[in-house]
Copies of this chain bind each other. A is one copy, B any other.
């Protein structure tokens, strides 16, 4: 497996692969891999001939007071596990190579990024769409894989790729969970034992809402309240938002017609966790 910090090198390698008729799958990450990331790499490896994984802790998607400085970095383990999961190359660029002096272009998706995490993390999604546009330009993948845990990010990237005719297939990979249901996250490592234990209630609350839907409930307020009720005795959990939205537009849904995304952000102590579930009829 190739590991490089050179934009020119990864760009050349991908160009060679394309010239050889090989398809290139891409998984952009910030490192600190858990099984969720590895499932993205595995998904890309099934769907394409070569997989490039980027590891870049993108400063522009962190706000003031967020955890940029303490964001975990585990490069050696990450490379080893990326290789096991099927990566052909890992691209680990320096910040000042990605954003050279004079860099001044931003790519922003409006609407989709307004609510949910966008409302509480101003500028976050502009940072995400811009870095993805840059990395897509460098790698020029045939497809890129994003996790459904970051549902709003997935919707924004899909919109950008479609609007700017980037010609990249965006593949969504399901949320990977711990045995007790907690969605995998690089930030789970910050949880105290008590926070960790109570955090399993987040996915349980989402499931409670899904059960109500399957029992016939179509009023989203009832589903949102079912989530909140599940958390009500959890002393170290505090919901930041609980929203029911269309999974493509991220616009609020009040009565379920076809399907709805129940998306939540919950503080477990000082650690902010997000999770979501797509609520729809079984087919």
Listed in ascending order, the chain A residues whose CB lies under 8 Å from chain B are: 7, 11, 102-112, 129, 133-134, 137-138, 140, 159-160, 163-167, 249
Q: A103 to chain B: which residues have CB within 8 Å?
A: 163
Complex partner residue of A159 from B104, B129, B138, CB under 8 angstroms: B104
Chain B residue nearest to A15 in the complex (CB) = B167
Complex partner residue of A164 from B107, B159, B165, CB under 8 angstroms: B107
Question: Can you list 28 contacts pairing A with B, beta carbon distance less than 8 Å?
Answer: A7-B165, A11-B165, A102-B159, A103-B163, A104-B110, A104-B111, A104-B159, A104-B163, A105-B110, A105-B129, A105-B159, A105-B160, A105-B163, A105-B164, A106-B107, A106-B108, A106-B109, A107-B107, A107-B133, A133-B164, A134-B163, A134-B164, A134-B165, A137-B164, A137-B165, A137-B167, A138-B165, A140-B167
Q: A7 to chain B: which residues have CB within 8 Å?
A: 165
A-B interface, 8 closest residue pairs, ranked by CB to CB distance from nearest: A137-B165, A105-B163, A104-B111, A104-B110, A105-B160, A138-B165, A137-B164, A133-B164
Chain B residue nearest to A11 in the complex (CB) = B165
Q: How far is the CA of A103 from the CA of B166 in the complex (A)?
A: 14
